[in-house]
Structure 1
Amino acid sequence: MELINYGGYRKKTRKLNKKRGRRKGSKNKLSPGVTKMLGEASLQYAYGNFEQAISLLKEVVRLSPNLPETYNTLGLAHSALGNHKSAFDFYVIAAHLSPKDSALWKQLLTFAVQKGDTAQAMYYIRQAIRAEPKDISLRIHLASFYVEIGDYEKAAESYEQIQKLFPDNVDATKTGAQLFLKCGQTARSIGILEEYLKVHPSDADLSVIDLLVAILMENNAYEKTLQHIEHAQIVRFSGKELPLKLKVKAGICYLRLGNMEKAEILFADLQWKNAIDHADLITEVADTLMSLGHSNSALKYYHFLETNAGTDNGYLYLKLAECYLSLKERAHAIMFFYKALDRFEDNIDARLTLASLLLEEAKEEEAITLLSPPKDLDSLDMNSDKSNPWWLNEKIIMKLCHIYRAKGMPEDFVDAIFPLVCESLCVEALRQKVKVKRRLTKGILQQRTKIYNNLPTDSILCGIRPAAPKSELLVAARARKKIQKKEALKEEKKALAKAAGVEWHSDDTDDESQQEAFREPPLPNLLKNEENQCLIIDLCKALASLQRYEEASEIINLSMRLAYNILPLEKKEELRSLGAKMAYDSTDPNHGFDCAKYILQLHPYSLSAWNCYYKVLSRMGKINSKHSKHSKFIRYLRAKYKDCVPPIIISGHQFTMASHHQDAARCYLEAYKLLPENPLINLKRLN
């Protein structure tokens, strides 16, 4: 029995100790001949016999094509001979055959960066990171590439990975948070900072706390901000005084939450003596107080800055002016607005606000001077790359026009606003005349596929994605498909034309001429804004008062044509009445003839309307025109309003002038039957 047990135990032991798997050693054991050739090639390379080394290595590749050392040595030999393209290709093969060799990937990365090939550089750096995941410099380099191409989310994720691998890296934590914030992912930005604070509760970097507090406050999370500041005071600054910046931030949070008393206690360390050292904090406190309506308190902090900031702080003067304006202290507000405009003369809003203040103080002439162009325009340096000067701004001109209109200065009013209105109406008319096809032109499509142009065409690597964010890649892919579809359709049309035996003409004009980029009108909402519609009417009245009837009629006609479906009925009536009146008063009534006709259609029994129409008609010389619009119009009115006498009399006059006396007599008789007591009709009938 003991022998049996012993034998069974020995058998079981051998089974347990048996090793599984392949025996240790090389998977692809090289033949002695290949090993010898590889050694000889290395020796030839070492002696500088590069051609002989390359010849031997080619034979090694033929016999054993999967040896990375062979391709690496081939790369070295070709590089020594100056064949950098071939050397680079052999390095690429060597790296792919030994993917865990990070040194090879780093070498390829260096070459790609030197060539300026971002797409390949990003590919190589990702491979290097797979080979050496804990190399922080590689990850930072990859993140910088993502920032360079504008893919901030990928860059932020790279820094997030660095922070997870190296929790003590403050720069990676802060940069990742800022990049998440830049691509709109606030929650992830806050999360990466809070994760750092969890790992470093008592030795957290102060800049990380400051950044977290700033992001939370920017998103109105004031209670959560206070929790983090209180936690930092207990854990990070235990037994120490809280830094002034955090105290002020806490005070601003209390201020936003309505606890003014607690906020004032925390702001106590901010005084005019240290205003220079803490100007940003004082400005933030004052701006917060101002936004919450505590103008008196804000004024105190602004004056701290004024005492120490010198005389060149235009932004501070603007804030002081706005503060005094909210306190209804106009004199001080005007003074500081003038000081601010001395530094920022192109600030349109400040200039307009100051003009309104001057008008409230009944200083119209001063307001006009403020809004008028400088008198010494010739001496000013009008830089061509600078935007339009402040006096050509639409809002400035409109404000000036309102002042001229209120003061009853029609000539100045017209001179200021007429060029803008005329140009705006002409631009709108041109836009309606030229119908732009709403389709992507070939030029736009090619612009969208531009990211494919930078891909290398001579590389042995295929399928590397262009260096661009995912959104741009999707747009580029769609554009490329659209171009391919257009080209295929073009070839199909060409083949059909050839088969039909006709000459083929390409219709691919690219629509560039039709899609001409029209300039924006100076007054973009001229016809849609009710206030601007009233301005047009006032302009036409002013032009009429200055006897500039032709220009006024042109504006009326353009406005009616461009905005017929937009203008309210009362505005249309007013414009037409104005046009008819101008036609009556003008020596050249052609422009107002349609308005006079329209007024007559509205009031067919009004003698004053008929008198206006007849006077316009007489001046135009159409009273005896047999085939004019007038004749058709009169026939239309006679047919529609059979009991209306004036069109019958006018027809009689027309027949009389044409020497058609019988027709004229019939008209006068018809009028007599309707108005037998009218002496004029009786006189005409007797004649």
Structure 2
Amino acid sequence: MEIGEGGGSRHGEEERRGDEEEQEKENEEDVAVEEEEEEEEEGDDEEYAIEFDEETNPLDFIEEAADGVELYQQFERLEYEALAERKRKALQDRIDRGEPSKKPRRDEFLGATMEEINEMMNFGMRRRNRSRAPKKRGRKKGSRNKFTHEVSRKIGDATLHYASGDYEEAIPLLEEVVLLAPNLPDAYHLLGLIYEAMGDRMKAINFHILAAYLSPKDPSLWKKLVSWSIEQKNSGQLMYCLKKAITADPNDVGLKFDIALLQFEMGEYKKAAESYEQILEIYPANIEARKMASKMYRKCGLPDRAISLLEDHVNLPNSKVDLNVVDLLVSLYMDKNAHNEALRHIENARLALGFEKLPASLNTKAIICHAHLGEMEPAEVFFQDIQMENSPAKGDWILEVADSFASLGQYDYAVKLYSTLEEIVGDKNGKLYLKVAQCYISMKESGKAIPFFYKALSKMEDDIAIRLTLASVLVEEGKEDETIILLSPPKSSDIAQSKPWWLNGKIKLQLAKVYRDKGMLEAFADTIFPSLRETLIIESMNQKVRPAKKLPKTVLFERAKLLGEQQPQNIFHGFKPIGTTAELAKAARAKKLLQKKASLRAERKAAAIAAGLEWQSEDSEDETPRKEIQEPPLPGLLMNMEGHQLILDLCKALASLKRYREELEIINRTLKVANNALSEEKKEELRSLGAQIAYSTGDPKHGYNYVRHIVQQHPYSNAAWNCFYKVVSRVENRFSGKFLNRMKAAWRDCVPPIVISGHHFTAISQHQAATRDYLEAYKLQPDNPLINLCVGISLINLALGFRLQNKHQCVVQGFAFLYNYLRICDNSQEALYNVARAYHQVGLVTLAAAYYEKVLAIKEEDHPIPKLPYEGSSTREKDLRPGYSNLHREAAYNLHLIYKKSGATDLARQVLKNYCTV
């Protein structure tokens, strides 16, 4: 019984012990699985290995990749599903055995946020690291999957076939291995080697990518892919493979140099500098990496960081002096204007070298630093030492020092060095002559600069800037004739020259200014008019060019090329393209627009086919040529005051030369094109010139609008209204009473438009309407002699008509206004003549003869003829004979008519003989 009990207890104890051992094994497996998951989660750059299902044929991926199918995300999905399936199987086994499932960690559920849960559910995304208690990393021995003897045997046979060159025998064996163990990287690696030997590079690359992806810590595979990516010129894939290779072998300096060079070519100087610094962390004594890091920091605008890197090396105890490092460090200090620090490092290098002489490049920098500090004594030593130097870079050093002296205002030293350099290397392109001339200009010695400008111009004949500068210097020296020769076309011009310098707009502008200053108006107009006219035409056309609302397809395709860098036969797609953020954004928008256009085109095509219509391609609508902004001969002329004054001077010159049509064209185009740029004063002056054209030409209709504008701006100016009336009186079928009615309505107290309206009605024999306007003006200015004269004449003309019944009363009223006019004018000769002429008109010849005789009895002095505001002291009065203001001839002629009609022929003849004989 005891034995039975004891046996039973021992049996139970053995079962319990066996269960504990089994549970311990399961716990160890769980810990191994957990540690495996932790190792995968904690690596920032590590990724899951691909695990294929039994029903999945990995070889299909290679075939589908040849058709351009993007499979990168499929690998991520398979990886996620494989991991999930493994956990589901382990959980189902525990459930089948009736064991409790593994208790979930508290921080897996209780501490998880929605964002973390979403990250776990989305395949291809790394799970966020969670803070855990420190555990032993890595797998326990024996936890990795072991492959069967059959897989190992097939791989061995395939390797032997590959070694003997029997590729056709090895490929089926490896395909069977892939089906049996799809997660084994050795099979893919061997397939890649076989296809590489067979010359099928694309399949070889794809199999190597699979092998590298399944064994991400194998650096040899990634390095091989790096070299192949360089051959393919696939920068996106190259960057990806370089990062993976560096992750697999962080101590490989060559890879870091490669990625730094790629970042430099991309323009990411700061990242390149950081890559070089990573090299320095491994090998601090690598001088080349240190210098390149400093140069990269210098390029990205971080000179302090660059100086710090070099200082760390220079300040090392017992470090050998590297003159290249010192030279770069001195250059960085000079960029920061820290010339004292630069000199300190140069002196330290001199002391470290002992009796050995410093290189000329450092001596050159030392001279420049001394010059910046105001110490010019070392410059004399430099002049002596540089003569003895035989280095091929001797000319570059002299030029660098001379340019520094010129920038500091030490022009004497600079000229001396430029002359020395000319003796050593000569001046093949004329740049040294130009630098010497500019130094003399800065020293206010223009006379000495002129010969050097001519020497530079002999080397660079087509250089517009040098020719213009020399022309300005010649004008300052008072050599206008020499300037004209310099800027005028050569007598034997080369017609075959595509763009001769004398046709440049700036040259013509400078030459025109010289002609203008010398008073050569015709040469001035002939020189500048064609260029100015073409400029106005082009500017007018440019204003009509609207910015493109949509980009053409050619531009979109060009931008989208950046995203299409990946090769379609590659198994991996989706690498980040190489480019700046702005370029990538433009490329993404362009690709989206192209896809949208393609979908719209497909919909339209389907709709057309469904409607039974013939489909026509719409590709041509995006490629229609659009107008582009052209460059005028005189760019920017309409945007500055000097250009506006030049236009006014040209218009005045054309007016003096009576070239009114050309003047009017310039005025019209200027006011249309540069209306917003011109000041109101310049606009008024141009419109006044247009009004002057209308007043001076025989066909004034082209300037009529300018005259109207002038009276609108100056409604109370008698001179403006005089110009308006003189122009209007010579325009046929153009005069409109509507404008005068608007002016009378706008300015009711303005007399000139009322009087001109009356003149218009008088000219068309509508005397009643004319009398109405004159009487309205009389109410405003009753003492105006002109208005009284006009009212009187209009009433007399009205009385001479056939429709008026009380004619005598109208005549008396008319003469009443005329006598009022005579009183206001104080019985002047002109007033007496007008009264006599009125009596003569109504047939009262006795009274008319008496007033004509009064006119003959008065001697009138000459009075100046009124001028318009824009008219200066013209020679019109000099052409008039003396006595042009006297009315004796007119009065004598009318009086002789009265005598002749009354029968007094002798008296009439005597009057003509006394007053009308030349």
Aligned length: 656
The reply on whether 1:650 has 2:791 as its aligned counterpart is no
Matched residue, 2:298 = 181
SS in 1 for 2:539: helix
Q: 2:411 aligns with which of 295, 305, 314?
A: 295
SS in 2 for 1:463: coil
- 631-640 vs 392-401, greater mean Cα deviation: 392-401
Summarize the Cα distance change of 1:372–1:186 in structure 2 as closer, same or farther, 3 Å threshold. farther
Question: Share of identical aligned residues, percent?
Answer: 47
Q: Which amino acid aligns with 1:666?
A: R
Summarize the Cα distance change of 1:281–1:251 in structure 2 as closer, same or farther, 3 Å threshold. same
SS in 2 for 1:403: helix
CA distance in 1, matches of 2:647, 2:549: 31
Matched residue, 1:662 = 768
Summarize the Cα distance change of 1:81–1:243 in structure 2 as closer, same or farther, 3 Å threshold. closer
- 416-425 vs 355-364, greater mean Cα deviation: 416-425
Summarize the Cα distance change of 1:286–1:553 in structure 2 as closer, same or farther, 3 Å threshold. same
Matched residue, 1:119 = 236
Deviations 1:208-232 (A, max 9, x none): 2212222321332223322322332
Summarize the Cα distance change of 1:590–1:164 in structure 2 as closer, same or farther, 3 Å threshold. farther
- 329-338 vs 672-681, greater mean Cα deviation: 672-681
Matched residue, 1:254 = 370
Matched residue, 1:558 = 669
Q: CA deviation at 1:503?
A: 13
CA distance in 2, matches of 1:218, 1:417: 46
CA distance in 2, matches of 1:179, 1:657: 88
Question: 5 Å matches for 1:66-465?
Answer: 66-199=183-316, 202-234=319-351, 236-261=352-377, 263-264=378-379, 267=382, 269-272=384-387, 274=389, 278-310=394-426, 312=428, 314-378=430-494, 381-382=497-498, 388-436=499-547, 443-465=554-576
Whether the 8 Å CA contact 2:566–2:573 is kept in 1: the answer is: no
Summarize the Cα distance change of 1:511–1:55 in structure 2 as closer, same or farther, 3 Å threshold. closer
The reply on whether 1:578 has 2:689 as its aligned counterpart is yes
Summarize the Cα distance change of 1:542–1:473 in structure 2 as closer, same or farther, 3 Å threshold. same
Give the number of the structure whose alpha-carbon radius of gyration is greater.
2
Deviations 1:284-313 (A, max 9, x none): 222222222222232322222233233536
Summarize the Cα distance change of 1:228–1:685 in structure 2 as closer, same or farther, 3 Å threshold. farther
Summarize the Cα distance change of 1:497–1:193 in structure 2 as closer, same or farther, 3 Å threshold. farther
Q: Which amino acid aligns with 1:522?
A: P
Root-mean-square deviation (Å): 3.6
SS in 1 for 2:785: coil
Whether the 8 Å CA contact 2:158–2:171 is kept in 1: the answer is: yes
Higher-RCO chain (CA-CA 8 Å, sequence separation at least 6): 2
SS in 2 for 1:377: coil
CA distance in 2, matches of 1:241, 1:520: 56
Deviations 1:615-647 (A, max 9, x none): 322333135x5xxxx322111122234454443
Deviations 1:394-439 (A, max 9, x none): 4333222211110112222223322332233223323334443566
- 68-77 vs 483-492, greater mean Cα deviation: 483-492
Summarize the Cα distance change of 1:499–1:528 in structure 2 as closer, same or farther, 3 Å threshold. farther
SS in 2 for 1:421: helix
Summarize the Cα distance change of 1:29–1:435 in structure 2 as closer, same or farther, 3 Å threshold. closer
CA distance in 1, matches of 2:248, 2:413: 61
Matched residue, 2:654 = 543
Whether the 8 Å CA contact 2:654–2:662 is kept in 1: the answer is: yes
Q: 2:170 aligns with which of 53, 66, 69?
A: 53
CA distance in 1, matches of 2:321, 2:593: 54
Matched residue, 2:796 = 686
SS in 1 for 2:639: coil
- 112-121 vs 502-511, greater mean Cα deviation: 502-511
Matched residue, 1:15 = none
CA distance in 1, matches of 2:189, 2:548: 57
Summarize the Cα distance change of 1:357–1:157 in structure 2 as closer, same or farther, 3 Å threshold. same
Q: CA deviation at 1:499?
A: 13
SS in 1 for 2:413: helix
Whether the 8 Å CA contact 2:154–2:173 is kept in 1: the answer is: yes
Question: 5 Å matches for 1:480-491?
Answer: 480-481=591-592
Q: 2:702 aligns with which of 591, 606, 627?
A: 591
Q: CA deviation at 1:488?
A: 7.5
Deviations 1:328-354 (A, max 9, x none): 333321111111111122333332222
- 209-218 vs 24-33, greater mean Cα deviation: 24-33
SS in 2 for 1:362: coil
Any gaps of 5 or more consecutive residues in structure 2? 1-135, 798-918
Summarize the Cα distance change of 1:560–1:164 in structure 2 as closer, same or farther, 3 Å threshold. same
Q: CA deviation at 1:93?
A: 0.9
Q: CA deviation at 1:109?
A: 2.7
Q: CA deviation at 1:24?
A: 4.6
Whether the 8 Å CA contact 1:414–1:543 is kept in 2: the answer is: yes
Any gaps of 5 or more consecutive residues in structure 1? 1-19, 383-387
Whether the 8 Å CA contact 1:414–1:539 is kept in 2: the answer is: yes
Matched residue, 1:5 = none
Q: CA deviation at 1:456?
A: 1.5
Q: Which amino acid aligns with 2:638?
A: L
Question: 5 Å matches for 1:485-504?
Answer: none
CA distance in 2, matches of 1:600, 1:105: 87
Deviations 1:151-199 (A, max 9, x none): 4443343334334433444443333433433344433433443344345
CA distance in 2, matches of 1:685, 1:507: 77
Q: CA deviation at 1:101?
A: 2.6
Q: Which amino acid aligns with 1:557?
A: N
Summarize the Cα distance change of 1:31–1:677 in structure 2 as closer, same or farther, 3 Å threshold. closer
Q: CA deviation at 1:668?
A: 4.2
Summarize the Cα distance change of 1:433–1:113 in structure 2 as closer, same or farther, 3 Å threshold. closer
Summarize the Cα distance change of 1:38–1:469 in structure 2 as closer, same or farther, 3 Å threshold. same
Deviations 1:592-619 (A, max 9, x none): 2121112222333444322321232233
The reply on whether 1:637 has 2:743 as its aligned counterpart is yes
- 391-400 vs 36-45, greater mean Cα deviation: 391-400
Deviations 1:550-604 (A, max 9, x none): 2222222232233334322221221111111111112332332121112222333
Whether the 8 Å CA contact 2:484–2:511 is kept in 1: the answer is: yes
CA distance in 2, matches of 1:605, 1:423: 39
Matched residue, 2:643 = 532
Q: Which amino acid aligns with 1:343?
A: K
CA distance in 2, matches of 1:399, 1:238: 60
Matched residue, 2:105 = none
CA distance in 1, matches of 2:626, 2:332: 44
- 195-204 vs 576-585, greater mean Cα deviation: 195-204
- 291-300 vs 498-507, greater mean Cα deviation: 498-507
Question: Taking structure 2 as the reference length, what is the TM-score of the superposition?
Answer: 0.65
CA distance in 1, matches of 2:429, 2:140: 80
Whether the 8 Å CA contact 1:272–1:308 is kept in 2: the answer is: no
